[in-house]
Amino acid sequence: MKKYCIFAITLVLTTLIVLADDARFTNALKNCSSYSESGTVNTEGMNVTSTKKILGWEGDRCVYQEKVQFAGIDSCITCKLTQPQINELVSVMQAYAVVQKYSNAEVDTSSISAVQNNPVVKAWNKYLQDSSVCSMTSNQQSVE
């Protein structure tokens, strides 16, 4: 169960770095304004389909939701982020976008190990693995 949870979270992180240079997503997160985007990323030889949504404010927390489908498994991660957490994530994503703008290197999403040292992955991972911020459900089982 723990291995599945880490794998699913890593797939979410993989799809997040693909959007890291997407100013629309970053700005929507910064303002916690309504946003939705879907796409597919290939990693570990699997096509991972992701739908990301920023649902808006729920009290003093911004609700971010991502639905991920891979290998017949449907997972949903919901995060309720505070303003300081949003500020940190936006800052990392904006800095990463600037670096990518001046880099000739493509973002490598071919394997989990390739994405683990990405700064956007590290920033989001801190919250995705914190059950007081994010929760995950799947058609396999509920993960807290």
Tell me what pLDDT residue 19 has: 55
pLDDT digits (tens, 9 = 90+) for 32-80: 999 998 877 766 677 778 888 999 999 999 999 988 887 787 888 899 9
pTM score of the predicted model: 0.79
pLDDT digits (tens, 9 = 90+) for 77-126: 899 999 999 999 999 989 888 887 887 766 666 556 666 777 888 888 88
Quick one: 98 exposed, middle or buried, by C-beta within 10 A (0-12, 13-18, 19+)? Answer: exposed
Specify the number of domains making up the chain. 1
Which parts of the chain are beta strand (E)?
Answer: 35-43, 46-58, 61-70, 73-81, 134-138, 142-143
Q: Which domain holds residue 84?
A: 2-143
Helix axes 119-128, 83-101, angle to 10 degrees: 160
Confidence of residue 15 (pLDDT cuts 50, 70, 90): low
